[in-house]
Structure 1
Amino acid sequence: MDNQAESSSPETNKTPKSQSSMTSASVIVAFAVQCNNCYQWRKIATEEQFEDFRCNQTADPFVCNKLPGFTCEKPADISVDSSQVWVMDKPNIPKTPNGFKRITTLRGNYSKVDVQYLTPDGKKIRGTPGMVSYLQEHPEYNHLSLSDFCYEAPKIVRDTVPKHALKNPADRSRRRKKRSKS
């Protein structure tokens, strides 16, 4: 779950990770965590269970036997490959408050993941300033603070991004600028 170099393989790092696997349509199709002992990936059944493991990663690292019927001897449930785009959250992101939903959206050009929160009344909030305003306007949430929300975007595992998307979009914009100047 620590920030890692985009070109390194998550399976070879010695720090357990939490990831979600996304398709190009930006739909999360699986949540997974990496065992702190055997470094194998385990699929997590629900987003809530995934958040439980993610928010306590440092204090209580995930190990295979936390899942019923699993041990480190059992083969990995999933491996990081390019069949889907993988994104990696940092450790210890707070569990999403009840009634709110943390939404992560992969941009169509695979350049970044955007984070926003959906409030209980259906409003989408894209950043800290918006959440400050929302919490001030809704005293029923005075038990919440900004530290209950994390807008830091998950890192994209570059080795899983389709090759056609790896072309640097900045190169195209530089070429356009050069052409317009000539």
Structure 2
Amino acid sequence: MKDDNQGNPKSSFKMPNSSIDIYAVQCVKCYKWRVIDMQEEYEEIRSKFTEEPYVCSKKPGISCNDPPDIDYDSSRTWVMDKPNLPKTPEGFNRSLVLRKDFSKLDAYYISSSGKKMRTLVEVAAFLEANPELKGVSVDDFSFQCPRVMEDTIPEYADKKIPTGGSASKKMKISKDGD
């Protein structure tokens, strides 16, 4: 999820370096949103979401009886990630950058040496050129991006949300926990 500085007019809006400023997960039992403190923890939860659905009690001292950490509303632009994407390999950072027209996010991987990779072909070439990265595979990377939730895009943005295809699919959490 990303804070969009909604009170600013379009002309003064500046994109931050990192588009994601808060990570949150929805409980499969009570549907409340829980803030996850670190990207690495969020990615761990996301990578195992189908096998280990998130429940409030996984957060220390929290239960479904507690109020949500954050509410889904238009005070910020929300994006919904797909479950079970691989956790970013150690030594790399995954960066998601929201396009200025709010149409989608772009994913990048940045190595510990600062090399920015935009495609799996670039990742494969980097891994081949760096054989010391044993145990890291192209399969450990995903350029699938979260879907921008149209109902939370600020009014001043030129809304160009893609329709159809895989971009229109989002992570659903049904009442039966599917």
1:23-102 correspondence to structure 2 within 5 Å = 23=4, 25-26=15-16, 27-102=19-94
Match of 2:154 among 140, 159, 162: 162
Structure 1 pair 169–142 and aligned structure 2 pair: CA distance change class (3 A): closer
Superposition deviation, residue 70 in structure 1 = 0.4
- TM-score of the pair, normalised by structure 2: 0.80
- Aligned residue type for 2:52: D
User: What fraction of aligned residue pairs are identical, expressed as a percent?
Assistant: 42
Partner of 1:21: 2
Matched residue type, 1:159: D
Gapped regions of structure 1 (runs ≥ 5): 1-19, 171-182
3-state SS of paired residue (1:43):
strand
- TM-score after normalising by structure 1: 0.78
Letter paired with 1:21: K
TM-align CA RMSD: 1.7
Q: Report the alpha carbon displacement of residue 166 of structure 1 after superposing the two structures with TM.
A: 4.3
Does the aligned pair in 2 maintain the 1:22–1:87 contact within 8 Å?
Answer: no
Q: Structure 1 98/167 Cα, relative in aligned 2: closer, same or farther at 3 Å?
A: closer
Post-superposition offset of 1:123: 0.5
Partner in structure 1 of residue 105 of structure 2:
113
Mapped to 2, the partners of 1:169 and 1:33 lie a distance apart of 23
Measure, in 2, the Cα distance between the counterparts of 1:130 and 1:109: 26
Q: Is the 8 A contact 2:102 2:160 kept in 1?
A: no
Distance 1:75 1:169, change over 3 A: closer
Runs of 4 or more off by more than 3 Å in structure 1?
A: 166-170
Where do 5+ consecutive residues of structure 2 fail to align?
6-14, 163-178
Shift of 1:100: 0.2
Taking the aligned partners of 1:51 and 1:79, their CA distance within structure 2 comes to 21
Q: Evaluate the alpha carbon distance shift between residue 158 and residue 167 of structure 1 in structure 2; reply closer, same or farther with a 3 A threshold.
A: closer
More strand by proportion, 1 or 2?
1
Match of 1:122 in 2: 114
Higher-Rg member (1/2): 1
